[in-house]
Each structure stands twice: as C-alpha cells, then as structure tokens.
Structure 1
Amino acid sequence: MSSLESEDCDFDGNIALFPMTDCGSFEESELDTHSSISENESNRDASDENESDEEDKGRDDRSKAFLTLRQRRLSRALATFENLKVNINRAQRNWLNAIRKARHMDDPWEKFHLDEYPVEVCFRHRYNALRKAWLTDEVKVKMEKKPFNRGAMRECFRLKKLSSYVGAESWNHTHNFVAKRYMEAVERDVYFQDVKLQMDAKLWGEEYSRHNPPKKVDIFQMYILEFKNRPDSPLYHCEHLIEGNYIKYNSNSGFVDAKLRNTPQAFSHFTFERSGHQMIVVDIQGVGDLYTDPQLHTIDGKDYGDGNLGAKGMALFFYSHVCNDICHSLGLTQFDISENETKMQNDNEKMAAMVAACTMARGNEELCQTPSPGESIDITLVLKRQRSTSQSDSGFDGMLTPLDEEPMSLETGSPIRSPAYQRMRVRYCSESESSITSTQGERRDSLLHQREEDIRNFQLQIQQRHRPSCVALEKDLRKANFTSKFNDSALGKIHHEMAKYHEVGRFCDKKDADIDWDSALFHEIHAAELGELEAILTMAKLYLGMERDVLINCVVAEDEDNVELGFDYMVQAADAGDRGAMIYVAKAFATGLNLGKRREMSWEDAIHWYDEALTSMNDNDEGGEYDSTMYDPPFTIMANMAEMYLAGGHGLEKSPERAGRLASKYYALAEEAGALCEAEEE
C-alpha cells in the first residue's frame, strides 16, 4: 500500500481531506507568526500617521533611523509572506494532484471481472465495541466462487460490496474487500468472537493514536457477512483489501520482529498499562501501521478464542519486550526483569531462537515437562542475592510521567482532535456527499455525535485504570489501599508465570542449557511481594523445606534465618486466606516449632488461627474437593482448641466452659463421621 493510501485514506478507501503541513515546506505556526508581524506593522503605520503632525515639526536622527529599520522589517515580512503564499499554493496543488491520481487509479481487481458475478443479498453483522452491542443490516455483494489464497486456518475470496450511500446500483465505484472463512467446520460463535476481538483491539488502536505517538496505528474494520440465500446460511469475515508488504511484528507467544520496529511493541505495552493490566493487544501484523487479525490476552484468560493465553501470554510478551523511545515518550514504565534476562534481550539471535513467530493456541504452552524431582539444586546463595536486590529496589528512583489526558485547546477549551480521530470521523462520511439526502445527513450527524459521546465515556472510564508495569510503583499503589491485599495483582500473576516458565526451561536457548534460577527466583519473589498467593506459598514452603508445586527441585540450607523467613511467608499466606497455612501457623504457635527466633509459643495466637481455619471451612464448604485440611478435619481442630482452653497458659486464659462446648461439638462431629463410615461400608 502506498503512503497515500495508508495515511490519507478513510476507511472506505476515499481520500481524507486534511490540511498538509509537510507539503511546500511550511507550517501553520510559521504562517501565524508572519501574519502577526504584518498586523503589528500595520498598526504601527496607523500610529505613525496619527503622529504625523509632530513629525512634521522635526524628527531627530534617532527617529529617522528607527523608521528606516521598521520599513526594512516590514518589507522583509511582506516578502516572506509572499513566499509563504507561493508555498501554500504549491501544497494545495500537490494535494489536489494526489486526489486526482487516487481517483484515477486502476482497479487492481478489474481483470478478475467480479462485476460479472451475480448479486447476493447478505446480512451484515457489525460489532460496536463502545456499546458492546451488535448491529445487523442488509448489503449487496458480488463474490468470486473460488478462493484466491489460503492461510493456516482460513481461505480468502475476492469480494465487492455496494455502498449504502449510492442511490443506483453502480458497481463501478465499489471497493475491494476480502471475505474469509474457516476451512474446517467451527461453531458459528467463533466468527462473532473473532469480530469482537478485532473491534475491541481497534478501539485500543484509536486510544493509542489519541496520545499523538510518532506514528498513528489503526486496525481494520471487520464484520460478518451471512449469505442468507445459500444453504445453511454460511458466515464469512469481511474486511477491506490491504495492499502492500504484510509483516508480522510480534506474536501472541513472545515473538518480536527482528527489525525491532518501535510502534507495534509500544502499542502492545500501552494497552497493558492503559487497561490497568487487565489485557494486552499482541499478534500485531499488517501493512505498515495498519493492522489486522490481532490477539488479546486477558488476565483471566476468558473470551477472545484459543489464542488468549492469559497471564502466560503476557509473561511471554514481557520476556522479549524492550522498552523503546516511544514507550518512554508515552510515560510507560519498564517491566522488571533480571540481569540475566536483560543480557538475553540484548542478544537478538538467542532471543529469536527461543520464541516462535506463529500464533499459539491455548494449551500448547503447558506442554513443557517439569524437571525430575530427584535433580535437586541448592539455591541458598541465589536466594540471598535476590533478597538483597529486592530490598534495594523497594523504592522507585525514576520519575513516572503519566499518560496525558486528551489535550485541550487553550482558546476554546474543547478537545484537540488528532489526525487519527479526524480519520475516524471521515469513515462515517459518505463516498459521495452529493448522493446523501438531508435525512441521511442528519442521521449521519446523529451517529457521529453519539459515537463521540461513547468515545468520551470510554476515555473517562480508562483514565483511572492506568497502572505502571514496574513492581515498585505497583507496591506503592497497594500500600495506598488502591487494591485489596492479596491475590488481586495482575502484575503478580505475570511474574509468577515467568518464574514457572524459567523452571520448565521455556527460556533456555538450548535443550541442555542450565535453568536460570536467578531469574526464576527474581520473578517468584516479586510475585510474592505483590500478594500472589501461590507465589507466597512457594516461598514459604521453599524456606521451610516442604513439598510444593513450583520450584520443586530447589533446596535451601536449614538454618534459623531461613526458617524465620519461611514462617513469615506462611503467615502472609494465612492472612491471604489459605486454610492449610492457617493450620500450619496455628500448630506452630501451639507447639513452638518452626517459629524462628523472633516468635514464641502463643496459645492465644494458635486459637485465633484455628478459629480462622474453621470459619474458612464453613464459608467455603463445597464438598468433594481436595483440600489441605483433609488431614486436619474440623473435629480434630476443635479437640486441640478444647485441650488448650482446658489447660490454659502461653497467653491463653483458662476457660473450661469453652472447652466443654468445643468438646461437645467434637463428639457430635465424631459420631457423624462414624455414621458416614458405617454407611459407606454397607
């Protein structure tokens, strides 16, 4: 696609009439400056005429010299203005010539004679990403019978669509579209999910362009054509033809184009922060900065098809993403990575060998096998390094430059619309203004006004969501009570996924390469700091030498410092609501084991955590699900509590009455459990 088509065309392929500040080598600001000079000089002339009587009485040499200087300045300004008018005319001529050339461009599909195909009436299903609603109308199309190209999953057909704004059925001015369908049978809802994905991504492309990056981006409009008169009413995706060099800039599984273009990577990073870490647009591909077929990762992994890898996909992106100048200009913050990962990012050849350019489906990334539990590695020294690094990075020395809100005009107080926003308005204009009736014009203006309101509401909603990508600032936000305490940080989940990827060797450039335990622990510690429950439990069990699901091959030295750190993590897990951690902490306070050096036996604390565990069991009693408390059923916990109340001590006041109530509950539950056992035997 030519630069004219990519930058100055509206959605329907029409030329967008915008003032050009790069033709004829002039700027509007320069014109304003010289105009003001001329105006000021004219005012001075008027003033000089008013004072002519005094000048006739006699001027001194200084006044004459000043007048001469003023005249020279005025002459230069007028000469410059004349040159500017010449440049303006040249720019206008260039612009008009570009329009005429575009109008007389040959149709690249003329030789395929699509006009000879029969006219078909289809239902067109369009998705409004702002209102989360579907719109359906009828359109007339002509489509070839055989596909002209095939991809990995879909095949493509040439298609022409009759414009809704053309009065007569004239196919001479229709535009070229590509209709796509899946080669294998899929559920009809898949087509609708694909359109929803692309239109949601398009909304984020417009939001990115609103912040005036060096290059604006756009994502092609896509909708569904339902051929209602064909057997089974088949569905097709439909979008405008993209002419030009098609490039894949990044994938949904960590691939980054070797050319390292800045805009696509900055766009992905922008969507992550601007959405408050809830989603990220990846799989950026297309012609120039006009993209198609993107993929969205959401933190919960829901919606948007099998290409949505959730937090795993976000982790894969940030492992290979290097912040560039555009990221910095937009105020985006660097995602925290280890020193080893930084060195790997600088080695582009190794990085390219570890990531795949193809789109990955959900489930494929979980095929990595966990190393054998028998191959243990002592990471005591690695943990010490990571602890010292984490403590030194507890604050953020850099200055965060937040994303600016929509720029406002100082003169009118109204928003200054970017060229991308103006192009968005033109897309709602007709292909021929003369063919639009007054009723259609009023309806179009109403739609434009409504869309502006919807866009404004969308912008207001996401203004409060922006969150930085670095751990230090995320921790500051959590301390300021912007979020709850545990298991709610998307950033923590991503760091946890990166730790697991390192453990299974996903980021090793060779099959027999050693695991990067420094990086694995770097991310797991950060995940724990951000309140990710599984990471907290992993660190607790690692220090305490207990079995775990992550970092299973790692072992640390058994000393009081490590035990104390492990117990600290276990208390955090108990605070986060993990029942197994609650019971572990309760037993430790009841027996005095594994408390470390700072804590002592406390039956009062033991009662507290036993009671929390019982409450948690009652609140989440779903039955049939494995739980760590299966070895400590409620009646045994009540028996332990009854014994402590009966004896008293270690900070707990003796209470036979409470002990009796707990004991009665214990026997009742014991009898109930015995009856269940007898029923099962029968």
Structure 2
Amino acid sequence: MSTTSGDGERDWARLRSLTADSGFTENGEERSERVKGLMQRWKNAAFRARKLMSDPWMDYNINLLPVIRAKRHRYSAIRKTWTVDIVEVKLLGDPFARGAMRECFRMKKLSSMSRNQDWTHANNYVAKRYIQEVDREVLFSDVRLQMDAKLWAEEFNRHSPPKKIDIVQMCVMEMLEMPGQPLYHLEHFIEGDYVKYNSNSGFVTDLSRKTPQAFSHFTFERSGHQMMVVDIQGVGDLYTDPQIHTVAGTDYGDGNLGTKGMALFFHSHACNDICHSLCLTEFDLSDKEKQEMAEGTTVTRGGGRGGEEATRFVRPASVCEPLVAQTEEEEGDAMACLRRRTMSVMSNSSGGTGGDSSSCGEKEKKKHDEECVCEECLAECVTGVVLQDEEDEEEEEEGEYGDDEEEEEKGPVSRKVAFHTLSVERKQRERNDSLGSSYGGSSSRLTRDTEREEYWQGVRKQSMPAGVLSAIQMELLADAACRAHVSHQASVLGQIHLDLARYHELGRFLPEEDNSEKRMALGETAENGEKNEEGVVNYDRESALYHLDVARRCGVLEAIVTVAQMAYGLPHELLKDVGEDEGWGGELDEDGNARGNDKEAFAFELMETAAEMGERSAMLFVAEAYETGRRMGKEGRTRWPAAIQWYQRAMGFDEEEEGGGGGGGTKEGSTRPRYEILAKMAEMYQEGGYELDQDYERAYELYTEAGEVAMEAMKGKLANKYYEMAEMCAV
C-alpha cells in the first residue's frame, strides 16, 4: 500500500507523540505495538522505494554487449514532421516476449545529452520487431498512430478526469550495423503488470477499469464522431500500442475497422462515472442489450489491484464538446483541429509562465522552507517548478516516462534532485501530462476555468452526442436529416447502428455456447459434420431491428431503403428474414402523437425520402407510384406531373453518373433502362390527365429521343416502334 504525504505527516506526528515522555495514557504494551506497526509501515515503504531504484535487467548483463550505432526516427504529431539522429544502443538478441505480430527485445540506450558513458546506468527500453517481414512504411505508420493517440490522451487530461493518462512515446530505430539494417519500434520500458483493457474488436477486460473505456468514448465525441482511440493496453494508466478507428477506415493501418470497430466498442461499453462527469452521452442500445450488459458486468469497488476503485473526483471534470465545427464553412478535420488546439494551449501557457510561477506568495515563501511537504508547497512544486538534470533533458525531449504504475494526484515530489528518484519520475510524468511530451518543451498545467476561457473565445461548436435522447428527438433528427436535402453521406452515428444490426444478423454477439450453431447456420461444417441447410442464425432479432430503426431515423440511406422494402414485403439484403409482418408504420409526429398504422403510407414516405437523397431505384419506384396511384397508402392518389418530375430526376441522375451517355443498359439497383423511361413520359404527355396537360409536341420529342437511345442500345425493333409513335403524335 502506497503512502501519501498527508499519511506520512500523520504517521510521524503519531510516532512522536507515542515516543514522548508525557501526553498519553496508554500502557506500555499497547504503545509498543503501535510504534512497531508504524515503523514496519515505513520500512515497507523504504523497501519499495529502494526496489524501484534497482535495475530489473541487471542479471542480463546487457552493459557487456557490443555497442550498435542506430538511426533514430522521431515523429512530431504537432508539426507532422520527422527528426533523424544517430544514437548508440546495446541490444539483447533473445526476445523476452512474443505476440501475434511482433516480438520484444531488451535494449539499453545512453542519453545523447549526457557525458556519462556508464552503460550500467543506461535507460531500459523495449525494442519491438515484426515477426513477418512487412513494408518499411508500416513501422512509420505505427509511430504516427501512437503519437496522434498521444495528442488525444493530452486532450483528455485537459478535461480534469480523476486519473490522468498517458501514451508511451515511440520511435523507429534503424540498426545500421546489423545485417539488413532492420527496423525496430522503440519504447521506454514500463515495469509492472501489463493489462489489455479493451481491443479494436470490442473486447473489454473483466477488470472493469473505468478510465480506458471513458477515454475511448471521449475521443469519439471530442472528434465529432470522426475517430476513436481503442485497443487500450499498458501498465496502470500508461498505455501503449493503441489503435485508431476513423470513419473512412483507410488511415492507421489494417487495424482501422472504421465504423464497424466503433460499433463493436459501443456494444460492449457501459458509461461509468467518468463518462458522466465529462457529460458524454450514453450510446443507444436495445432493452435486451442493456439487460445482458447489466447481467454480464460486475464492477469491483474494492481497493485491490484487479478491480476498479470507486471514482473520487478531486475537482469537477470539464464538459466534453466536439473540436470540429459543424458549419460547412469551417474545416472539419478532427486531427487538424486538435493540432491547432494543442499549439494554441502551448503558446498561451509558454507566454504566461514568465516571472514567478509559484502559487505561493512571498509571505508563504518565508513561512515554508524547501523541506516543507504541506499541500500548498506540493502543489507549488508540481505546477510551477521544472526539475531537470542531464538525463531529464533528453527524457523531456524524447517524451519518455518513468515506470510508476498508478499516478497519484498528490504524490510526494522531491525538490532536491541528486539522483534519479521515483519523485523525479512522477514529476517528469506530471510535466509530460501538461504537453511537454509532444513538442519537446514543458508548460504549466492550466486550470479548468482558464483553459476553457482561452479556447472557447470563438464560436461554440454544436454538440455531437453518442446517443439519441428520446423517441421524439429521434423523429425530429430524421426529419432534419431527410427533409433538408441531406447528401448521400450518412451520419456516422447512424452508420454505427447499421453496422450493429449487420453484426447481430451475422451472430457476432451470440454467446459462446451458440458458436457451433452459428457456424452451422453460416454453412460451415460442425464437429459432427452436419450443416444447417436453411442457413438461418438465431440472432437477437429485437436488437437488430432496434439498431436498424435508429439508423433509419438518423438518415442512413441504406437503412431507409431497407425498412421501406421490409414494410412493402420486397426482397432486401439486410435482415432477410424480417418482412412486412413487423409492426412498421406506428410513427410519431412532431407533437408526439401517433400517425396511424398505414404501412404503405409509411413505406412510401421512406421511399420518397430515399429518392430525395439520390437513390435512383427509389426515384423510379416513387415515379411509378405517382403514375399508377398504387403503393402510396390509403390517402395516395395518381399525379402524373409528380411522376414526370421523378422520372426526369432519375434520368438526370443517370447522366451525372454516366457522364451524359445515352446507353440503354440498366445500372445495378435500377429497374428500367433509359429508353423505357422516355417512352413512359411520352405516353403520359400523349394521353394527358391526372393533373397533366396533354402535349403532343412534347410527346413527339420524347418518343424520338427514346428511339435514338434504343437504337444505341442495339434495340432496333423497339426503336422503330418508338419512331412510329412519334409520327402519330406529329399528325
């Protein structure tokens, strides 16, 4: 059990009172036992402190190995530039750990800022090498990923969470004197129990750590739904090897699963106290999913290492609001906004640290000497004083950290730096937490109010929550997204829900005991050699429909078309076993009142929405409905002008997609070739009626154009028929 400065003062005060000649009434035996207990506690603390000073790799005699010259490639996430220099290292050839893709080696490196050439005191590092040969760019991409994730960790710390986090600095080492000049990833060695808190495929550890899960959720909302940092693993709250999911799914290597990875995270994420303190929105899950999560999640609130302690908030956390502007005029790149944000904080903090940076006044300085360990002086030491020696200068430059496993908000910090102590390690980490690690400098930690005042001087950004708060708000969101002529680019939140529906259909979230049944349903051979000929997975249909409906309300085109096809009883790709028997049509209006249960009217409204979003097959469906007066619901009626309008839009869509060519073939998802649409429009103008004026001249033009298009499509007989119809209109 670690001891804080407050505990230490109380213990020494009790020890002095117990060893005094007067002032107590206890008998000698009780006093002796209490003294022994206090002394044993301090002996244990001293033993642990001395253990931290010892080299855990002393037995490997790495200092006796030959020196290897290496080229070090370091990446600045702020400037997006690389820095190259030459360093000397000693590498132990036998790996001490091996993963699925990389193996780890022990390495020592001397500080380039120090004149001391004693390798016994060199820093310990972990060199990671890919087991299979990979392209050189993969290693540099991994470094960019980790350093970008480090920026998000610093942004998370600015919001005053109960526990600060950090991500280990990583660089690429090119071993110049080894055969083939292999490339390694280099990280500072972290001593302690290595734990994987979550993964890029939705795994969440049974340890139920709150901070890693809240950090992943924070990055999603803070980036405006553009990205998410996952695959959190490391020692305590010092993480390494993260993964970033982006909406495009093209950056940051093959581990970037895009919105599918975000969907896997949210399916297994239950918001905790830290999420609530940051005002993060709970992701919308079905009642059954919430029940399963509540039954399957046990949170340990004891003080053990394996469980999450009850969260203590020293000060209120700042509200998380998106960095990305929601206006089309402003740039929408989350990483670019984060870089500008970090550089702004750097410039403001560096400009305000001149002069006396102490939090105590002159009167306090006279009252407290440098040996004082009160809370005021500790705060002064943490926030205002930069402790450095020769080794620390390079540590600050490289952004390397100590091996303390759990950061304490008010840990003891020594002001006398004669050797590399745990206090220096903690102080160094505090300095790195305040942006020093990312840009090779140090800055004082800003308070919550000051930081907020500096950053929110511009226009406040519109919040982008991870959940939709109520059914009425969901309906309003769908109305705003679909009726305001939104583009084909669907909302990220809706796409995540659509991916969840697809995962449910595939049986991704079935319990372990149902895996054999799932394999049989997907056509794979089970252990007994049987196959499920029907190919149906008994998935959570209720949850799948819930996520599909939320995606539809969020304005996702694929979800809108799928639900419309389900309501009509038409074939569809997603959730193929769901049909018109489902209770579609019970929608709410803006006042929260039911619109009725007219499935056809509900389905037609969705088809019209999809047509407005640019879906050609929906345009043709709506045009045919207005032409015939069918499939429009009880209140639908034939309107040829509307049919003409939608036919024209469908052809205009074709011209944009095909470069204006007049090919008669049908595209995927289309139901009619272009010459048939032209002939149908000509027929309506020829006959007239249903609010459309008869126009033979327009019919002649359309029949003629239909004949030309049919001729280009090698439909000679059909072209002659259209020419004959045109002649009839010309008489």
What is the TM-score with the length of structure 2 in the denominator? 0.65
Residue 506 of structure 2 corresponds to residue 504 of structure 1 = yes
* Aligned-residue offset at 1:645: 1.8
Inter-CA distance 648–451: structure 2 relative to 1 (3 Å threshold): farther
Pairing 1:9-408 to 2, within 5 Å after superposition: 24=9, 105-348=53-296, 402-403=319-320
In 2, Cα distance between equivalents of 1:446 and 1:471: 38
The correspondence for 2:622, drawn from 585, 589, 593, is 585
**How far apart are 1:609 and its partner, in Å?**
0.8
What do residues 183-233 of structure 1 show as CA deviations (whole Å, max 9, x unaligned)?
Answer: 111111211121122111111111111111111111111111011233322
Q: Is the 8 A contact 2:486 2:613 kept in 1?
A: no
Q: Name the CA distance, whole Å, in 1 between partners of 2:352 and 2:705.
A: 69
Equivalent residue of 1:226, what SS? strand
> Residue 236 of structure 1: CA displacement?
0.3
The DSSP-based 3-state class of the residue aligned with 1:309 is coil
One-letter identity of the residue aligned with 2:279: G
Instruction: Tell me, yes or no, if structure 1 residue 527 matches structure 2 residue 551.
Output: yes
* Conservation of the 8 A alpha-carbon contact between 1:486 and 1:531: no
- Distance in 2 (CA, whole Å) between partners of 1:278 and 1:621 is 31
Deviations 1:253-282 (A, max 9, x none): 111111211111111111111111111111
The one of 650, 660, 669 equivalent to 2:709 is 669
* Correspondence 1:647 to 2:647: no
Cα drift, residue 521 of structure 1: 0.9
Q: Tell me which amino acid in the other structure corresponds to 1:110.
A: M
**What is the letter of the counterpart of residue 608 of structure 1?**
Q
Render the CA deviation track for 1:525-544: whole Å, top value 9, x for unaligned. Answer: 11011111110111010001
Give the aligned partner of residue 373 of structure 2. Answer: none
1:570 aligned residue (600, 603, 607): 607
Q: Secondary structure at the match of 1:571?
A: helix
CA distance in 1, matches of 2:459, 2:135: 33
- Partners of 2:711 and 2:255 in 1: how far apart? 52
Letter in 1 for 2:647: Y
What letter is aligned with 2:656? D
Q: CA contact under 8 A between 1:429 and 1:444: conserved in structure 2?
A: no
Amino acid at match of 2:695: S
TM-fit CA distance, 1:434: 12
Residue 320 of structure 2 aligns with an amino acid whose one-letter code is L
Contact 1:274 1:462 in 2 (8 A): no
Contact 1:156-1:180 at 8 Å conserved across structures: yes
Greater helix fraction, Structure 1 or Structure 2 = 1
1:448 maps to amino acid: G
Residues 3, 145 of structure 1: CA spacing in aligned structure 2 closer, same or farther, 3 A cutoff? Answer: farther
1:597 matched to 2:514:
no
Q: Secondary structure at the match of 1:159?
A: strand
1:478 deviation in Å?
Answer: 7.9
1:621 equivalent to 2:661? Answer no
Q: Secondary structure, in 3 states, of the residue corresponding to 1:127?
A: strand
1:101 & 1:422 partners in 2: Cα distance? 20
In structure 1, the partner of 2:441 is: 448
Distance 1:335 1:135 in 2: 41
* Aligned-partner residue type, residue 187 of structure 2: E
Counterpart selection for 1:539 from 551, 560, 563: 563
SS in 2 for 1:494: helix
Q: Deviations over 1:294-352 (max 9, x none)?
A: 1111122112222222111111111111111111001001000111001110121799x
Quick check: 2:221–2:320 contact (8 Å CA) kept in 1?
no
Aligned equivalent of 1:14: none
Map of 2:575 onto structure 1: 551
Give the TM-score, by structure 1 length.
Answer: 0.69
Contact 1:218 1:290 in 2 (8 A): yes
The 2-side partners of 1:110 and 1:639 are apart by 87
3-state SS of 1:448 partner: coil
Deviation at 1:22, TM superposition (A): 7.7
Give SS of 2:204's match.
coil
Q: Is the 8 A contact 1:467 1:474 kept in 2?
A: no
Verify the 8 A CA contact 2:143 2:170 in the aligned structure 1.
yes
User: In structure 2, do the counterparts of structure 1 residues 414 and 598 end up closer, same or farther at CA, with 3 Å as the change threshold?
Assistant: farther
Q: Is the 8 A contact 1:528 1:536 kept in 2?
A: yes
d(CA) in 1 for partners of 2:102, 2:556? 40
Aligned with 2:127: secondary structure?
strand
> SS where residue 347 of structure 1 aligns?
helix
Percent identity between matched residues is 45
Residues 570-614 of structure 1 show CA distances to partners (whole Å, capped at 9, x for unaligned) of 111111100010011101111111111232111111111111111
Unaligned runs of 5+ in 2: 12-41, 300-316, 324-340, 360-377, 397-435, 518-536, 585-596, 718-731
1:634 partnered with 2:634: no
Distance 1:276 1:434, change over 3 A: closer
The answer to whether the 8 Å contact 1:311/1:494 transfers is yes
Q: Name the residue aligned to 1:359.
A: none
Q: Which amino acid aligns with 1:266?
A: A
**1:187 & 1:524 partners in 2: Cα distance?**
39
Q: Secondary structure at the match of 1:555?
A: coil
Q: Given the alignment, which residue of 461, 467, 471 partners 1:470? A: 467
Provide the C-alpha distance between the structure 1 equivalents of 2:443 and 2:208, rounded to a whole number of angstroms: 39
Q: Using a 3 Å threshold, how does the CA distance of structure 1 residues 668 and 240 change in structure 2: closer, same or farther?
A: same
Q: What is the SS of the residue equivalent to 2:184?
A: strand
Q: Is 1:431 equivalent to 2:391 in the alignment?
A: yes
* Paired residue type of 1:403: C
Q: Which residue type is aligned with residue 344 of structure 1? A: E
The 1:434–1:661 alpha-carbon spacing in structure 2 relative to 1, beyond 3 Å, is: closer
8 Å CA contact 1:119, 1:142 repeated in 2? yes
Change (3 A) 1:452 1:330: closer
AA aligned opposite 1:301:
G
Measure, in 1, the Cα distance between the counterparts of 2:669 and 2:52: 77
Q: Deviations over 1:148-192 (max 9, x none)?
A: 222222111111112121135343432100001011111112111
In structure 1, distance between residues paired with 2:153 and 2:640: 58
Deviation, 1:655, is: 2.5
Using the alignment, how far apart are the partners of 2:439 and 2:102 within structure 1? 37
> Residue 658 of structure 2 aligns to a residue in which SS?
coil
Tell which deviates more after alignment, 307-316 or 339-348: 307-316
When structure 1 is superposed on structure 2, of 206-215 and 424-433 the one drifting more is 424-433
Would the aligned equivalents of 1:208 and 1:267 in 2 still touch at CA under 8 Å? yes
Equivalent residue of 1:431, what SS? helix
2:93 and 2:105 in contact (8 A); partners too: yes
Q: Which residue of 2 aligns with 1:13?
A: none
Structure 1 position 654, deviation (Å):
2.5
* Separation in 2, partners of 1:534, 1:500: 12
2:75–2:147 Cα contact (<8 Å) kept = yes
Q: What is the CA-CA distance between 1:616 and the residue it aligns to?
A: 0.8
Q: Distance in 1 between matches of 2:558 and 2:142?
A: 33
Distance 1:555 1:149 in 2: 52
CA contact (8 A) 1:179 1:237 kept: yes
Is 239-248 or 298-307 further displaced after alignment?
Answer: 298-307
